Amino acid sequence: MDLDLSPEQKAIQAAARELAQAELEPVAGLLDREFDRRTFVGNLGKLAAQGFMGMNVRRRYGGAEAGTVALSLVLTELGRACAATAASVSVTNMVAEVIQAVGSEEQKATYLPRISSGEYPAASFALTEAGAGSDPAGMVTQAVADGDAFVLDGEKRFITNAPYAGVFVVWAVTDRAAPKGKGISCFLVEAGTRGLVVGRQEDKMGQRASATNEVRLERCRVPRGALLGRLNDGFRVAVAELAGGRIGVGSLALGIGLAAMDYATRYASERVQFGEPVTTFEGVQWMLADAYTELEAARLLLASAAFQKERGRPYAKAASMAKLFATEAAERACRSAVQLMGGQGYLRDHPVERYARDVRVTSIYEGTNEIQRLIVAREILKELVRP
C-alpha cells in the first residue's frame, strides 16, 4: 500500500498551507472577536482564485477536479489557520458536489462555474430544522407544486454561509403522504429570491467568523427547473452528501488539533519550571506522545475514507469512523494544549483558547458523534450478522 501523496496532492497541500498562513491565520483571532464580513468574504475569494471552492468539480465546469484526498488535505491546512473559514469552504464544496452529482446539465453549467470561480462567495446546504437535526427525515418545510413552479414554506436552522451564499440547496417535503424520508425533494434557490429570508445570525461559542443563520422560506416561489435531482428522492441525496461532508469536518478538526498541539508544544519547550523546560518532564512528554499519536491515527482514517470516496467505493462507514475519531482526538488535543500551557492557555492572549472553542462543534455538526456510532455499528452488523 502506497501512502505517499502524489506530486499534485503535495502541491495543492503546500498552496493551501501558504495561503492559510499568509491570509487566514493573521486575521483569525480578530475575526473571532469581531465579525468582519468584508475580510472574511475577501478571504473566501482568495481561496476560490486558487481553486479551493470547487475541488471535486470537473474542469469543464470551472472546477479543480482534484479529488477527495486533496480536499481533505486542504481543509486540514485551512483548519490549522482558521476553522471558521475551513467550515465555510467545506460546506461550499458539499453544495457543489450535490449539484454535480444529481443536477441537470443546465443546473451544472449555471451554478458550478459561479461557485468554483468565487462569483458566488459561498453556497449553503439548507437541511437542518429546529425539530430535524439528527433526524433530518423529520423535517416539516414543504414544497407544493403550483403550475410551473414550487412554493416553499418553512424554516431552516444553523445554515452556514447564509448571508453571503449565492445559492442554497433547500430540502423540503413534497409528498406528505409518503413514508417518512420518502417524500422529500431538494431545490436550488438563488440568493435574492423573493420569500427566501436570511434571519438572525447565531451568537456561537466557536467558529464565530463563519456566519450561521436561520433561513425562512415564506411562500418562496421557484420554477420547476429548480428541482435538483428526482422528485421525492432528496433524502437519499442528503444522506449521501452528509457522508462526504463528514470527511471534511474530520479534516478541519484535525487541523485545529494539530495547530493547538504545535503551539502548546513550542510554548512548553520554552517554559521553565523547577529549573528545567516543561517538556523535559515525563508527564508532559506522555501528553505529547498521546496527542500526536491520536492525531496521526486520525489523519490515516481520514485519508482512507477520502481514498475510498475518490475511488467510487462504499465509504459511509469509513467516513463516520474518521469523523468520530478525528473530532474527538482533536478535542482531546485541544484540551491537552490548554493544560500544557496552564493558566496562559486559558487566556485570549494565546490562540489555544480559540482552538478549544472552535473544535467543540465538530463532534456535533454533520451528524453528532452519537449518530456516527450508530452508523458504524449498523454497518458492522450488516457485514457480520446476516439474516
Antiparallel, parallel or unpaired: β 212-223 and 165-173: unpaired
Cell of 59: 474542469
State how far the alpha carbon of 223 is from the alpha carbons of 146, 150, 193, 220, 237, in Å. 9, 6, 11, 10, 20
Do residues 33 and 48 make contact, with C-beta atoms less than 8 angstroms apart?
no
Query: Within its chain, how far is the Cα of 221 from the centroid?
Result: 29
**Phi, then psi, of 281 in degrees rounded to 5:** -85, 140
Please state the φ and ψ torsions of residue 114, each to the nearest 5 degrees.
-70, -35
Active-site residue among 34, 155, 366, 379? 366
**Is the CB of residue 151 less than 8 Å from the CB of residue 178?**
no
Query: How many angstroms separate the CA atoms of 243 and 136, rounded?
Result: 14
**Contact (CB, 8 A) for 31 and 39:** yes
Question: Of 183, 190, 102, nearest to 145 (Cα)?
Answer: 183
Amino acid occupying residue 217: L
Residue 124 belongs to what H/E stretch?
A: strand 122-126
- Residue 242 phi/psi, 5-degree rounding, is -65, -35
Residue pair 267/341 in contact (Cβ under 8 Å)? The answer is yes
For residue 165, the cross-strand partners are 122
Contact present, 84 and 76 (Cβ < 8 Å): no
Q: Is 310 designated active site?
A: no
Q: How many Cα atoms sit within 13 Å of 298 on the Cβ side? A: 33
Active site residues: 366
